[in-house]
Structure 1
Amino acid sequence: MSDTASPRDQSRIPDKPVPPEAIKAIPVRHYGRWLGAAVVIALLAMLVWAFAGADINWGVVGEYLDRGTIVEGALKTLWISVLSMLLGLVLGLLLAVMRLSKNPVLASVSWAYIWFFRGTPVLVQLFLWFNLSFVFETVNLGFYKDEMNDFMTPFLAALLGLGLNEAAYMAEIARAGILSVDSGQTEAAQALGMNGSKTMRRIVLPQAMRVIIPPTGNEFINMLKTSSLAYAIQYGELFQAGRTIYSRNLAVMELLIVVSAWYLLLTTVFSIGQYYLERYYAKGVDRTPPPTPLQRVRAQLTHFRVRSEVGR
């Protein structure tokens, strides 16, 4: 049989295959998202327009933003918040360890502390400390003796009221972080000859910080705002400073806007710090740490640019 195909057979051989055309991807239109965004923008525009047209002297707002009394109040707010948070953190860790102790007395005392301070309002606790002279007329520490009215200043009452209340919440946060560490870690440490306190400091707490840090940051930001309750016992924090000024010049709304702007500034700064702290402690778990805010903005801009080019 001849290897060459006849002209008739050659006519049956198909031509060279033509490659398929490139697929033109058409992005899915999410009309609901755009509609929702339009509604939100419209509501925000209405809110801005309402404030812009209201009887608010914005010149007064700008005048008092950096006024010494307001800045001093903001610094006092920051100071009492930091000290109260430190007191709450240290005491909260101690209460968490007591709560997990096998000693029934320590566990019961810790439970009772948390029950009381979580079950009563912060404002009531502030007044309890500030009016402690109704129960104890003098304070006698052996090396120090004074009238309770002179000893229990607004600053000390605010520190005790905010810090001891915060300790109850930090105790539960720390307890959850400690329980999140696998029990095998403790058993391995004990097998190596570590005692209980050393195991807690060297093994358990460093691993628990990954769980403890995020809610702790939220608690501190909440503390910045809760510290405004200290105005009720005449502690000169930020809100009290604004309240003192508008009681004289009657610019109530203007001073409230100034105070709100300072609270927003403080909470924003510490929110950014909290984010980077969480990112640091997530290194041991996430191989790729979460993007920073700047990286997220760049990613969104790149994504928007790509979608625009595809749409064309």
Structure 2
Amino acid sequence: MAASSSSNVNNEENIFQQQGFVVVSWNVLHLIHEINHTYDLSPVINRYSIKENWSNEQQRLNDIIKTLSDILVKYSSIECFICLQEVPGDLLPMLDTMIHAHVGSVLINKPMIHVRSYPRVPATRQRPRQPLYTNPNENLVTIHYNPYVADANIAVDNRMGATSTLLNDRADWTQCPCDPGKGALTIVTSSGLTVVNIHVPFKEQHAISLLNSLHWPRQDTPFVLVGDINRQAPAFMRLIQTATNGKPSAGLLCSIAPDKPTRVGLEQDGTLKKYCIDHYLVSASLRNSTTAPALVYDNIGDISDHFPIILQFNSM
């Protein structure tokens, strides 16, 4: 049994060394937050006329699915991770339906959808209207697709020695100790690649508490962290240096930021404001394999207050 297990691990390492992958991140926006905090200064609320009719949120959810479908199809030939933040509960069955629609026609196998819900359930303040969502839970979601592994323990491409399955993914949840609406979802694949989908709190003390709770790599193993970081890359790297100080991963993690803004909003005078607060943290072992800078999928308009970002890693 031990020899068989070792053989499978070696096969998976070969797959990782030969195949590239892509990591996508998007804060799709739980609209209750937008209603509570930027009701009169939201391009998203304006675009979908939410003030006039809250049921227009369904059209926005449809547009999110259309965007994610386009991204998934575009990168269907390689291993793909789609990391989503602020996912409303109503979007979860729509994601499942979208994926099922592509299996067999575009996708070789069914991707894994990893979901973790926060203990905090968003609720509207001071605006008692009809419920915005049937399921108002807020979730972190990571979709993992790999055309080189099987739905079950059957190789898809025997030339690659693919004997594993996406069911071998290990998912770990890290809840922020100080904020019931922030956390990190870590996926470790059978090849040893770690992808962390994170929503970092805005308050620095809360952010440090979450980062201190993460399991950082013990050596320069393949590692990608991405999400809504809520601060620009230099400020985040200072937090990372604090969180990893004295740990084996200290100094082995590199920041990769997009070259364009990733979040949009309105100032009090109605002028547009832009930020770059969604970005990547990667292990030094992966740094030279990236197609940096990360791409910003900013041609979709105001579906969310964030744009999707995409970083591709070449074959190693």
TM-score under structure 1 normalisation? Answer: 0.30
Highest Rg: 1 or 2? 1
Higher-RCO chain (CA-CA 8 Å, sequence separation at least 6): 1
Give 1 or 2: higher strand fraction.
2
User: Normalization by structure 2: what TM-score?
Assistant: 0.29
